[in-house]
Amino acid sequence: MSLQNITLISFGRFEQDFLDRLVKNVSHEFNITVRVKEGHIDLSDYYDSVRRQYNGNDLIKEVDAKYSIDSVKTIGIFNVDLFIPILTYIFGQAYLNGRTGIASLYRLSNERYGMIADNEILLNRAIKEVIHELGHTLGLIHCHAPTCVMRSSTYVEDIDQKNYNLCQKCRNELINLLG
Amino acid sequence: MTRKISILVVDDEESVRDSLYNWFKEDGYRVECAENAKIALSILESESFDIILADIKMPGMDGLEMLRRIKALKKESIIIVMTAFATVDTAVQALKDGAFDYVTKPFDPDDLSHLVRNATKQISLIEENEVLKVKVATLENIEDLIGVSDVMQKVLKQVESVAQSNSSVIITGESGTGKELIARAIHANSSRKYFPLVSVHCGALTESLLESELFGHEKGAFTGAVYNRKGRFEMADSGTIFLDEIATISPKMQIELLRVLETKSFIRVGGNKEISSDFRVICATNKDLKSMVEDGSFREDLYYRLNVVNIHVPPLRERQGDIPLLVDYFIKKYCMSMNKPPVTIDPSALQRLEEFKFPGNIRELENMIERAIVIGNGKKIFLKDLPIEKSFIESPYESLDDNEKSHIAQILNKYNWNISRSAKALKVDRVTLYNKIKKFDLKPLEK
């Protein structure tokens, strides 16, 4: 398998500068051109009125069906509160060794936790989250290295502890996976 | 833990199965899913999983019934029960039935990670425990009892056969031959191995102390008895009690001991309640108990009660073929405990050890090797590192004349036949030395 393309699909409103910087950093980590496209999904179909959240399982299926193409890794970027039935929330999810992942900025912003909004911090977290989900689509599993971007993060503070980068072990694993 | 943990998810809701499947896959676990209890049980018939995550409310057989069935088949299974409708009753019932944990859906991502981490830790502990059990079971016979000589092989066979029974054993042998090790090996190979082996060195205690040590005492039984204290017989319940130096116990204690051995019950010193204990007794002595019975210093009835099986541990001088193995074992043991690289032994030093009679038996050999490793050069043990007194080395000659001749010749050779220096070393005058040379017809070695 060779990585030919990465596409980020934005669902909802995002500042162009934010998306440009996101693309630049993701592109740098995987050393490949990353494209951005705008996507359109009627999110109300995925809204769970009891939980007042959006169903991440159904959304990833939809992105996979409508926006993903073989040999391209696609990450859908949202700005809504995602959940999966068993968990109270998720930052994002991906098909392991598949072609699709999703990530949401909703729980990555400071103001969600009663702090002053900070676009730099939000961007940092978004970059890590997108690279993390892309890593899963490429076949990487969670890593125990404290600063590796593939380390599992269940709290937003966990994301802040990580770097943007894959650790050497994950990098070697990725080279193996890509053949 | 380095191996891949396996998880079976049992839930009738597809979305739950998919979510957990993806979540655990990303964590690197091996995951399988079943949509009901029946399918889960059939999967478990052919495959085993480290962790089973099961929903309580499922059509057909519910999660609690499945939990009971899995536990009946494999008691150590780790099952985490999930429910969307938590009630105290179901939680209590699940835990009573052996669930590892009980969680309410949906849960925080962090809770799920913790849950699986705790379960993984538990699996590691169970596996570690199994490894240690095997290690403990083989520790005594494999590592500590060393001997390829016929006499030692005979002892090891006796240990093996006697271990399976509950009979009393007397281990006889000189001091330092490893009688306690034999007792440990019997215990470690018996069905009592997971219970304590309690050792009592009877010779080290006075009569009253030994009584309190063996039977325990009640608070206030004597001055200083501030608390109730369990005795060694009580502590050895389900296990083995090892009474070392049994020949040293007083006639009064002999009667007490006989009574305990016959009834397997006793009363603590200062107490009035009879306490029962299920123990096996192993005794050791370096005395000839039979002759002590004949001269009346050891009770005959107690002797026969204890001497159901007798194992005699041979002195080291009767199993000299085992010395190289023992030396090798003690070198490894002490180098490891002192954090030193393994040393070797010079062939002449080993030969001297093989000739030595070791009045202190294995204990003496062990001490010699330990000392040699401490004072040696860290690479090789030489003769000079061994505290062997020449007088203890057995002479190949039996007659005094032959020994005298050999010794004088050795001294003369050592001092290059310098008569003055040799006479001084032998502490005789020159004339006496000349007379001895003439008498034994000694001549300098040809060069």
Q: pLDDT, tens digit, for every residue of A115-132? A: 888 999 999 999 999 999
In a domain, B10, yes or no: yes
Same domain, B161 and B287: yes
Task: Residue B232: name the closest of B261, B191, B200 by CA.
Answer: B200
**Which of B4, B9, B13, B22 to mutate: most A Cβ within 10 Å?**
B22
Q: Collect all residues of chain B within an 8 Å Cβ-Cβ radius of residue A90.
A: 109
Same domain, B385 and B421: no
Please state which of the ranges B18-32, B125-139, B239-253 shows the lowest mean pLDDT: B125-139
Q: How far is B115 from chain A (nearest CA, A)?
A: 13
**Which of A86, A93, A97, A169 to mutate: most B Cβ within 10 Å?**
A86
* Residue located via tokens 């018996």: B190
Which are the contacts of B197, defined by CB distance < 8 A and separation ≥ 6? B183, B184, B187, B188, B236, B239, B240, B242
Confidence tier at A89 by pLDDT (50, 70, 90): very high
Mean pLDDT value across residues B164-187: 91
Which are the contacts of B397, defined by CB distance < 8 A and separation ≥ 6? B403, B406
Is B112 touching A (CB cutoff 8 A)? yes
Q: Residue B180: what are its φ and ψ, rounded to 5°?
A: -65, -35
Same domain, B157 and B233: yes
Tokens of B364: 């003496």
Alpha helices in A48-167 (DSSP H): 56-67, 119-137, 156-161
The confidence score (pLDDT) of residue B142 equals 44
Q: What percent of chain B has pLDDT over 90?
A: 30
Q: Is the model's pLDDT at B3 over the cut of 60?
A: yes
Same domain, B361 and B422: no
Q: Collect all residues of chain B within an 8 Å Cβ-Cβ radius of residue A83.
A: 106
Same domain, B308 and B320: no
What CATH number is given to the structural domain containing B283? 3.40.50.300
**Distance from C-alpha of B321 to C-alpha of B443, rounded to nearest angstrom:** 36
Three-state SS at A47: strand
Q: Which residue has the higher pLDDT, B91 or B432?
A: B432
Residue B79 and residue B116 in contact, taking contact as beta carbons nearer than 8 Å: no
Q: Collect all residues of chain A within an 8 Å Cβ-Cβ radius of residue B113.
A: 152, 154
Which are the contacts of B431, defined by CB distance < 8 A and separation ≥ 6? none
Contact B109 A141 (CB under 8 A): no
DSSP lists the bridge partners of residue A155 as none
Which of A94, A141, A152 is closest, CB to CB, to B113? A152
**Distance from C-alpha of A88 to C-alpha of B110, rounded to nearest angstrom:** 10
Q: Is the ipTM of this complex over 0.85?
A: no
DSSP lists the bridge partners of residue B92 as none
In a domain, B385, yes or no: yes
Residue A164 and residue A147 in contact, taking contact as beta carbons nearer than 8 Å: no
Range of the domain at B368: 316-389
Which of B15, B106, B113 is closest, CB to CB, to A57? B15
In a domain, B1, yes or no: no
CA B154 to chain centre: 20
Mean pLDDT value across residues B256-285: 91
**Among residues B136, B168, B196, which one ends one of the domains?**
B136
Tokens of B349: 């030093």
**Distance from C-alpha of B281 to C-alpha of B198, rounded to nearest angstrom:** 10
Mean pLDDT value across residues B165-170: 92
pLDDT digits (tens, 9 = 90+) for A40-53: 999 999 999 999 99
Question: Which residues of A participate in catalysis according to the annotation?
Answer: 133
Q: Which residue has the higher pLDDT, A133 or A4?
A: A133
Which are the contacts of B253, defined by CB distance < 8 A and separation ≥ 6? B207, B210, B211
Q: Is the model's pLDDT at B294 over the cut of 60?
A: yes
Task: Residue B158: name the closest of B150, B289, B176, B246 by CA.
Answer: B150
Helix (H) or strand (E) holding B423, with range, is: helix B419-426
What CATH number is given to the structural domain containing B378? 1.10.8.60
**Among residues B353, B370, B389, which one ends one of the domains?**
B389
Contact A87 B23 (CB under 8 A): yes
Same domain, B153 and B296: yes
Task: Residue B241: name the closest of B296, B202, B293 by CA.
Answer: B202
pLDDT digits (tens, 9 = 90+) for A32-41: 889 999 999 9
Q: Collect all residues of chain A within an 8 Å Cβ-Cβ radius of residue B13.
A: 85
What CATH number is given to the structural domain containing B81? 3.40.50.2300
DSSP labels for B401-414? HHHHHHHHHHHHHH
Same domain, B341 and B405: no
Mean pLDDT value across residues A11-28: 93
Q: Collect all residues of chain B within an 8 Å Cβ-Cβ radius of residue A87.
A: 19, 23, 106-109, 112
Tokens of B256: 């007490």
Number of domains forming the structure of chain B: 4
Q: Is the model's pLDDT at B136 over the cut of 70?
A: no
Tokens of B415: 């001092």
Confidence tier at B144 by pLDDT (50, 70, 90): low
Confidence tier at A71 by pLDDT (50, 70, 90): low
Mean pLDDT value across residues B349-369: 88
Contact B106 A86 (CB under 8 A): yes
Mean pLDDT value across residues B110-130: 85
The overall average pLDDT reported for chain B is 86
Contact B15 A84 (CB under 8 A): yes
Q: Which residue has the higher pLDDT, A38 or A72?
A: A38
The confidence score (pLDDT) of residue B446 equals 58
Mean pLDDT value across residues B398-407: 83
In a domain, B394, yes or no: no
Mean pLDDT value across residues B163-174: 92
* Residue located via tokens 């036949």: B417
In a domain, B334, yes or no: yes
Which of A84, A95, A142 is closest, CB to CB, to B27? A142
The count of residues in chain B is 447
Q: Which residue has the higher pLDDT, B201 or B89?
A: B201
The confidence score (pLDDT) of residue B64 equals 87
* Residue located via tokens 């502490």: B427
Confidence tier at B394 by pLDDT (50, 70, 90): low
Mean pLDDT value across residues B71-92: 82
DSSP lists the bridge partners of residue A83 as A55
Contact B27 A136 (CB under 8 A): no
The confidence score (pLDDT) of residue A150 equals 95
**Distance from C-alpha of A86 to C-alpha of B248, rounded to nearest angstrom:** 71
In a domain, B446, yes or no: no
Mean pLDDT value across residues B376-387: 86
Confidence tier at B134 by pLDDT (50, 70, 90): low
pLDDT digits (tens, 9 = 90+) for A144-171: 888 999 999 988 989 999 999 999 999 9
Same domain, B146 and B122: no
pLDDT digits (tens, 9 = 90+) for B416-447: 888 998 999 898 899 999 999 998 888 886 54
Mean pLDDT value across residues B349-365: 87
Same domain, B93 and B180: no
B296-301 long-range Cβ contacts below 8 angstroms, 24+ apart: B298/B247, B298/B254, B299/B251, B299/B254, B299/B255, B299/B258, B301/B258
**Among residues B86, B107, B136, which one ends one of the domains?**
B136
Q: Is the model's pLDDT at B246 over the cut of 90?
A: yes
Which of A55, A83, A152 is closest, CB to CB, to B27? A152
Confidence tier at A3 by pLDDT (50, 70, 90): low
DSSP labels for B292-341? HHHTTSS-HHHHHHHTTEEEEPPPGGG-GGGHHHHHHHHHHHHHHHTT-P
pLDDT digits (tens, 9 = 90+) for B8-65: 999 998 888 988 998 898 888 999 999 999 999 999 888 889 999 999 888 888 888 9
Same domain, B305 and B324: no
What part of B 373-392 touches A (C-beta under 8 Å)?
Answer: none
Q: Collect all residues of chain A within an 8 Å Cβ-Cβ radius of residue B106.
A: 83, 85-88
Confidence tier at B395 by pLDDT (50, 70, 90): low
Mean pLDDT value across residues A66-75: 84
Q: Give the residue numbers in A contacting B (CB under 8 Å), as ranges.
A: 55, 57, 83-90, 93-96, 136, 141-142, 152, 154-155
Q: Which stretches does DSSP call E strand in A27-108?
A: 34-39, 47-48, 53-55, 72-78, 82-84, 87-90, 92-94, 100-104
Confidence tier at A79 by pLDDT (50, 70, 90): very high
**Distance from C-alpha of B116 to C-alpha of A144, rounded to nearest angstrom:** 15
Contact B18 A57 (CB under 8 A): yes
**Which of B7, B10, B19 to mutate: most A Cβ within 10 Å?**
B19
Residue B83 and residue B57 in contact, taking contact as beta carbons nearer than 8 Å: yes
Task: Residue B317: name the closest of B202, B173, B186 by CA.
Answer: B173
Residue in B with minimal Cα distance to A95: B22
What CATH number is given to the structural domain containing B419? 1.10.10
Residue in A with minimal Cα distance to B84: A86
Same domain, B327 and B362: yes
Mean pLDDT value across residues B357-364: 88
**Distance from C-alpha of B173 to C-alpha of B12, rounded to nearest angstrom:** 69
The confidence score (pLDDT) of residue B146 equals 81
Q: Is the model's pLDDT at B387 over the cut of 90?
A: no
In a domain, B344, yes or no: yes
Is B19 touching A (CB cutoff 8 A)? yes
Q: How far is A16 from chain B (nearest CA, A)?
A: 31
Same domain, B322 and B308: no
In a domain, B132, yes or no: yes
